[in-house]
Structure 1
Amino acid sequence: MAILKVIELLANSDKSWEDAAQKALDQASRSVDHIRSVYINEQSATVKDGKIDDYRVNVKITFEVK
């Protein structure tokens, strides 16, 4: 039986929600091994001059504890 753990991260990007999620995964991968999934819990954005200025995601990353 595998034991899984979930951590929650907030990340942002000036490009896209996908890029923000990738940044969260990249950051988590620096200190966590055996990542199995990324769940996008929430998406939001800030607006400046009528355009999206910053994409934000709240993600849950699941990884196996060895």
Structure 2
Amino acid sequence: MNDKGVRMSVYRVIDVIGTSASSWEEAAREAISTAGGTLHDLRIAEVAKQDIVVSDDGTLLFRSRIQLSFKYTPE
């Protein structure tokens, strides 16, 4: 707590990249869901970048780079 009795929090931000053959939304959902399996107290997910990988046969792979913030707990 600070001197005014307000509880202070610290958050950590990491980048994760999700992929999908269908959409950027599905790629973002996959990134958040997978990261949420090991990260606790997720707070905000922000799309930082989206791109598409085009394979030689024309197949598209949607990628979403997500910045995730979660409450920091010292080890």
TM-score (normalizing by structure 1): 0.86
Equivalent residue in structure 1 for 2:40, among 11, 24, 33: 33
The match for 2:3 is none
The answer to whether the 8 A contact 1:45-1:52 is kept is: no
1:6 aligns with 2:13: yes
Long gaps (5+) in structure 2: 1-7
* Higher Rg: 2
Taking only the aligned residue pairs, the percentage that are identical comes to: 26
**4+ residue segments displaced more than 6 Å:** none
Shift of 1:46: 2.1
Query: What is the root-mean-square deviation in Å for CA atoms of aligned residues?
Result: 1.9
Equivalent residue in structure 2 for 1:15, among 15, 19, 22: 22
Instruction: Tell me the matched-pair count.
Output: 66
Question: Which of 1 and 2 has higher RCO (CA within 8 Å, sep 6+)?
Answer: 1
The residue matched to 1:31 in structure 2 has which SS?
Answer: coil
Long gaps (5+) in structure 1: none
TM-score (normalizing by structure 2): 0.77
